[in-house]
Amino acid sequence: MTTTERRPEGQEFPFNVFAKACPSRGTLEHVTGRWGALTLGSLYEGSLRFNELRRRVDGVSEKMLSQTLHALERDGLVLREAQPTNPPRVDYELTPLGREVAERLLALIRHVEASMDAVLQARDRYDETRGAR
């Protein structure tokens, strides 16, 4: 099946992430999942080797980072470049599309970080009204 055969007809945009069968939904999940967003944000600063990236994305397991990188590479957002050296060296970097997506994610990340005082206050109010703690 070609890309154009997958596009729903009669819509303003060729894809609709709100439609269950739309392939854009999978890419959205890859990008906005915890590890996808943090991986893309980390690679925005430049090319990183696997272990450098794993240290940068604090808390991600080797398995989850590997799965995340494979998904982002398949979606055309990350480029994996293996160097023919001994031992092998593999670098990861953003594609042009990956850079565009990462820019938007980083704007959201910065907004969330800047809003954390209000978020924490809202959590406290919520917990107080529900007797939680």
Residue 86's pLDDT band, with cuts at 50, 70 and 90, is confident
Contact 24, 18 (CB under 8 A): no
User: Cα(51)–Cα(89) distance, rounded to whole angstroms?
Assistant: 11
Q: Can you tell me the mean pLDDT for 98-107?
A: 97
Task: Assess whether pLDDT exceeds 70 at residue 1.
Answer: no
Q: What is the pLDDT of residue 85?
A: 87
User: Cα(81)–Cα(50) distance, rounded to whole angstroms?
Assistant: 11
Task: Assess whether pLDDT exceeds 70 at residue 4.
Answer: no
Q: Domain 33-130: which CATH class? A: mainly alpha
The tens digit of pLDDT for each residue in 10-68 reads 556 688 999 988 999 999 999 999 999 999 999 999 999 999 999 999 999 999 999 99
